[in-house]
Structure 1
């Protein structure tokens, strides 16, 4: 028994050293591109996060997205998840001042165009000022719908499971409104299709 315990401890230590070496050599990017890395990052973000204000429900992986509304950039509002029921939805929380958000937007737009019709829909929610977003879109236009929310401890990102407000942040929601996946950080070219497999 003692020998087996020692082998397990050595294996765990070697694994931890491998992860540490990977982070030192390549930064967190390679780890964050894996599903286990994303789950670990999500747990770390939620650990000791300030609680949301009373009455604010927060989505969890596998659970239903709590009902909330966001202002559509072009007027009106959307209620999530109900207004998007019937097809999977990729929600991307971003801001016009966020460099990685800006870099991934052409990839999100490419994916949204490829999914048009019967595939996964894309919704961008900017935690930003509407005028700043409109100005940004004149330079970097996208075809998918956009919404605006006020940053804070009850914004759309928090409600979708991102209590620390790290951007960009994406959530894959099933056709019946459940959280399938959460992602911290930007998508690189060609990553969304594999990530959005459900």
Structure 2
């Protein structure tokens, strides 16, 4: 095989190799809020580290977890500003908001909804719920697949440390 062919083949293999978790950057997403305002998701990431919680109305574990998440956000208002709750539903936002209130009784639970892009591909998650820790540069620092125990003090401390930029989540 000629050296040029070997280099070309190597370049293709390296281009297809998965990148490390810390290098994955969110691809463009657009979300809407409860008022119907549509904004690029990266606008939220420009403000510093964030925790992104992805959920869906059709996800049974999500439904069990959301009341715990709401309790966490209510108990920790300073952290709640940087914990972004994002629905991956294709249903209209009014239906998502109605679901939170009517089905789960979560009055005042704010959620964004993805309206453009694919949150799973953007954040490298394959199941819901998933919680993604985004660092101050907008890169994915860590992912947690499945429900979190939002009443666990260790979870609160992990989120607090992450959002303060003191240390990367484990």
TM-score, length-scaled by structure 1? 0.57
Aligned-partner Cα distance in 2 for 1:60–1:107 = 31
Alignment-derived partner of residue 132 in structure 2: 171
Contact kept, 8 Å, 2:26 with 2:123, in 1: the verdict is yes
Query: d(CA) in 1 for partners of 2:57 and 2:83?
Result: 17
| 8 Å contact from structure 1 (residues 69, 79) kept in 2 | yes
- Of residues 111, 114, 123 in structure 2, which corresponds to 1:146? 111
In 2, Cα distance between equivalents of 1:69 and 1:110: 27
- For residue 175 of structure 1, give the secondary structure of its aligned residue in structure 2: coil
> Which residue of 1 is the match for residue 11 of structure 2?
none
Unpaired runs of at least 5, structure 2: 1-15, 163-170
Which residue of 92, 110, 113 maps to 2:71? 110
Is the 2:21–2:141 contact (alpha carbons within 8 Å) kept by the matching residues of 1? Answer: yes
- Is this contact kept in 2: 1:87–1:118, CA < 8 A? no
Cα RMSD, aligned residues only: 3.0
Report the alpha carbon displacement of residue 114 of structure 1 after superposing the two structures with TM.
3.7
Instruction: Return 5+ residue gaps in structure 1 as ranges.
Output: 1-50, 52-57
Aligned partner of 1:124 among 85, 90, 106: 85
Alignment of 1:1-198 (within 5 A): 61-63=21-23, 64-117=25-78, 121-128=82-89, 129-130=91-92, 131-139=94-102, 140=104, 141=106, 143=108, 145-149=110-114, 154-162=117-125, 164=126, 166-188=127-149, 189-190=151-152, 192-196=155-159, 197-198=161-162
Is residue 69–residue 80 contact of structure 1 (8 Å, CA) maintained in 2? yes
User: In the TM superposition, what is the alpha-carbon distance from 1:120 to its structure 2 partner?
Assistant: 5.8
- Give the deviation of 1:167 after TM superposition: 0.8
Stretches of 4+ aligned residues off by more than 6 angstroms: none
How far apart are the structure 1 equivalents of 2:21 and 2:107? 28
CA contact (8 A) 1:87 1:120 kept: no
Change (3 A) 1:120 1:149: closer
CA pair 158-101 structure 1, distance change in 2 beyond 3 A: same
With over 3 angstroms needed to count, the CA separation of the structure-2 counterparts of 1:170 and 1:101, relative to structure 1, is same
Flag the 1:136–1:90 CA change in 2: closer, same or farther, 3 A.
Answer: same
